[in-house]
Copies of this chain bind each other. A is one copy, B any other.
Amino acid sequence: METYSIGEISKKTGVSIRTLRYYDEIGLLRPAKDPSSGHRIYTEEDILQLHKIMSLKFIGLSLEEIRQYIHQPTYDLTLKETLILEKNMLEQKRSQLERSIQAIEYAITLLEEEGEIDSLLLMSLIRSIQTEEDQKRLMTHYLDQETIDAIFHNEELKQKEKEMIKSYAQFVKQVHEMYGLPIDHPDVQHMIETFLRSTVGLLSSQTVEKIADLLNKKTSESFEWEEEWDVLSPLPFSKEEVQWLEQAMDYYMQRLEHTGIDWEEPQKGENDGHGKKR
């Protein structure tokens, strides 16, 4: 029977010598040892075991889990259950990875466009993706599934993602700059209008109405979920800026109601001649 030294095995399989010794140490793969020299002696059988180990490791099992299956000549349904659990883990990891990649792409886009970027802004963007699942879950307390889907699985929205990020960044910058101006200043009101049109404008009027309802309710009743809100993304503004912005938005909304103009369905076609006051 042919035998191999640890170095040969390492070359053959691509597993490092240290790793092989480690597997020996933890009892995962115990080759024979030359009693006089102490050198490890690997057989073909050992190579096969090693390949098994590598397969199961590739699947994502821990060395501890691998040890439980490694000595069985056949695998049965207990492995299947392990694998299904493992598959779910991997799929979770994948979707989390995908969100991370999306977040990083946003961040790169922004850095490219702006050159330099407010750390709070970047944070709020990343966190909004990071906590997307939480946001959805939280919304189920207030909104029906249909409305939530309308917000998050909006195809048109996805296509205009880059634009939206840019306009959001613009908005944040302008708020910083304009903070302190009177809330009824035309520039301030124009900024709010532009921002709302670029974001909310993409949602259908029913969706917007439901969200408006939600906002009304939020201030009046049911603060039971308030704690959960804390886990979500903080805004890229100081407390004072938030207050100022809220006032300015209230003013904008009131004026809207007065003039009787409301959001239009985001349809193709003419996009002018309504409520553009500045």
Contact = CB atoms under 8 A, between A and B. Distances in A.
Chain A interface, >50% SS class: helix
Interface string A47-70: 110011011101110000000010
A105 interface: yes
A73 interface: yes
B97 A84 contact: no
A60 B122 contact: no
A107 B59 contact: yes
A93 B94 CA distance: 9
Interface string A80-116: 1001101100110110011011011101100110011
B74 A130 contact: no
A93 B87 contact: no
A12 B91 contact: no
Nearest to A233: B51
A90 B112 contact: no
A206 interface: no
A90 B96 CA distance: 11
A203 to B, nearest CB: 26
Given A72-B119, A234-B48, A101 B105 contact: no
A119 to B, nearest CB: 6
Contacts of A242: none
Contacts of A83: 104, 107-108, 111
B59 A126 contact: yes
A58 B128 CA distance: 11
A13 to B, nearest CB: 6
A54 B83 CA distance: 31
Nearest to A122: B75
Contacts of A55: 103, 122-123, 126-127, 130
Given A101-B91, A119-B52, A112 B80 contact: yes
Given A47-B234, A55-B126, A60-B104, 14 more contacts: A44-B239, A54-B127, A58-B130, A59-B126, A73-B119, A75-B116, A75-B117, A77-B111, A83-B107, A83-B108, A90-B100, A94-B97, A94-B101, A97-B97
Interface of A: 11-14, 44, 47-48, 51-52, 54-56, 58-60, 69, 72-77, 79-80, 83-84, 86-87, 90-91, 93-94, 97-98, 100-101, 103-105, 107-108, 111-112, 115-120, 122-123, 126-127, 130, 227, 230-231, 233-234, 239
